[in-house]
Amino acid sequence: MNESGKLRVAVVGAGAAGLCAARHILSRAELFEPPVVFEQSARVGGTWYYEERVGTSDDGRPIHGSMYRDLRTNLPKEVMMFPDFPFDSHLPSFLTHWDVQQYLETYCKSHDVTPHVKFNTMVEEVKPISMETDEGGAVRWEVISRGMHGGHNTQTFDSVFICSGHYSAPHLPSIPGIEHFKGKVMHSHCYRCPEPFAHQSVVVLGAGSSGVDISFELAQAKAQVILSHNKPALPFSLPLEIKQAPPVVKVLDDGSLFFQDGSVAHAQVLLLCTGYKYQFPFLCPKQLGLEVQHHLLAPLYKYLVLPAFPSLFFIGVCTVICPFLHFHYQIQFALAVLDGTVQLPSRELMDEDAERERQRKTQMGVHLLQMDSDQWDYYVSLAKTVGLPPPNPVIQSLYEEVARQRRANPQAYRELNYKLANATEWQLLNAPSEQ
Ligand code: FAD
């Protein structure tokens, strides 16, 4: 706390989560100083700021985004939006990345967030410092940042919100013999558009949402695609250009790909749609007692509070969620913890709670941070604790309907347009096209 008696909060990242954090901190000016939002790039938007370039920028910044040129959202705008900030009513339900970027820029301007963003500034270190004068040994945080055009800066904060995203650091599976592959190996993080792959043979590894979407794009560009994955046969029809195969298990000496069923194929491109790993290069996990693995970040109480350091918040690290809705509730919960409205349990109880949750997820056979149907009770619980209205039930109902449509027809479900009729019903505005 500074001389004004107000709390100082640092926000790492000016993507959707960081902007939402800044907006809510600014709305509590009686208790919080304006936030400092550190953003390594020159723009807000994070994932939604499309950069054609891959690798690093001219000033040595790693290109953060994994967005591809023709992506349309997999959630309709009615489900995607921050609950207090609707998308333009003229837009279709499923949006381009450009629409979402415009929305986030408008959100930022409407809430006067931009003056608080330190652009071209990368956070290099976030570390706890004990303040001996604080009763109870309250921890403060030192944030060391580097301007992309030179110069380091160190500032002290009462709390840090980590909003740095987790779709940027590719997870690269280890494939024995990969050094023999004679074609191009790339990760979907560096995929932008299908034209360079026209008429080429491409093995896409992984049938998550990016793997399936990108396979369709490649097929339209007349690439010959083998979609290699470890799921049961996909329950929808695929264009002739896409064949399915089990996982690639190794590369043979002659450079051909060897699949789990013993089949073999030559390919010009191996496109890894194998997801992303959690990465926080500015934190020292050992010092914080934080376990960071490919699919795991633990222990986190309520999926956002580190029990040993309850003024460090991880926003939006869960998967299979409605991200903007999720940020909305997590951030307001975190602010209620800081302003004392919500009393956290003791460290021991939070650790026990996080461990129980980990065991429950292990028994369910899902990754700890994967939410899906669990997310609704989670939002209700956060909302109730903080005294906010819970999500409108129609959002869940539309989310579930879209998931059904996506499973049945992942190529065409985005042609549908929905409208919220009232608090419990939505309407379909156009008929599904023939498959
Ligand atoms: P990000 O958008 O990743 O923003 C993080 C920000 O932090 C970036 O601006 C980055 O530059 C900055 N940063 C990182 N490290 C540092 C540092 N050390 N110092 C300073 N700044 C830093 N969600 C949906 O709701 N609907 C969709 O249809 C959808 N489609 C998606 C498609 C793709 C290909 C991907 C990758 C994601 C998609 N998502 C979708 C999920 C999307 O990630 C979330 O919607 C949301 O944008 C995440 O916001 P965020 O702020 O948590 O992270």
Tell me phi and psi for residue 202, to 5 degrees. Answer: -125, 130
- Separation between Cα atoms, residue 354 and residue 292, nearest integer Å: 15
User: Could you give the angle at the alpha carbon of 372 between the alpha carbons of 368 and 373, nearest 5°?
Assistant: 115
- Separation between Cα atoms, residue 267 and residue 328, nearest integer Å: 44
How many Cβ atoms sit within 10 Å of the Cβ of residue 370?
Answer: 15
Does position 136 have pLDDT exceeding 70, yes or no?
no
pLDDT for position 258: 98
Closest Cα partner for 18 from 424, 401, 331? 331
Q: Mutation test of ligand 1: which of 41, 47, 317 has the most ligand atoms closer than 8 Å to its C-beta?
A: 47
Distance (angstroms) between ligand 1 centre and the Cα of 349 equals: 31
What is the side-by-side order of every strand in the sheet holding 305-306? 117-118, 36-38, 9-12, 159-162, 309-314, 305-306
Q: How large is the angle between the packed helices 16-26 and 97-110, nearest 10 degrees? A: 20
- Separation between Cα atoms, residue 208 and residue 274, nearest integer Å: 8
Q: Mutation test of ligand 1: which of 164, 189, 274 has the most ligand atoms closer than 8 Å to its C-beta?
A: 164
Residue type at 30 in one-letter notation: E
Encode pLDDT of 168-214 as tens digits: 999 999 999 999 999 999 999 999 999 999 999 999 999 999 999 99
CB within 8 Å of 68: residues ≥ 6 apart: 188, 191, 192, 193, 214, 217
Does position 159 have pLDDT exceeding 70, yes or no?
yes
Cα 252 → chain centroid: 35
Does position 375 have pLDDT exceeding 70, yes or no?
yes
Encode pLDDT of 309-368 as tens digits: 999 999 999 999 999 999 999 999 999 999 999 999 999 999 999 999 999 999 999 999
Distance (angstroms) between ligand 1 centre and the Cα of 2 equals: 31
357 lines ligand 1 (CB under 6 A): no
Written as one string, the DSSP assignment of 168-219 is: SSB-----TTGGG--SEEEEGGG---SGGGTT-EEEEE--SHHHHHHHHHHH
Give this prediction's pTM. Answer: 0.96
ipTM of this complex: 0.99
Encode pLDDT of 226-268 as tens digits: 999 999 988 888 999 999 999 999 999 999 999 999 999 999 9
Q: Which atom of ligand 1 is found nearest the CA of 61?
A: 11
50: its two tokens: 């499309």
Distance (angstroms) between ligand 1 centre and the Cα of 434 equals: 34
Cα 274 → chain centroid: 15
Q: How many helices (H) and strands (E) does the chain have?
A: 9, 21
Q: Which one is predicted more confidently, 149 or 349?
A: 349
User: Residues 143-167: what's their mean pLDDT?
Assistant: 96
In angstroms and rounded to an integer, the radius of gyration of the C-alpha atoms of the chain is 23
Closest Cα partner for 39 from 165, 129, 158? 165
pLDDT for position 137: 54
205: its two tokens: 């590894």
419: its two tokens: 């409208």
Does position 138 have pLDDT exceeding 80, yes or no?
no
pLDDT for position 433: 59
310 lines ligand 1 (CB under 6 A): no
- Separation between Cα atoms, residue 220 and residue 188, nearest integer Å: 17
Encode pLDDT of 396-409 as tens digits: 999 999 999 999 99
DSSP 8-state symbol, 69 = T
CB within 8 Å of 177: residues ≥ 6 apart: 250, 251, 252, 253
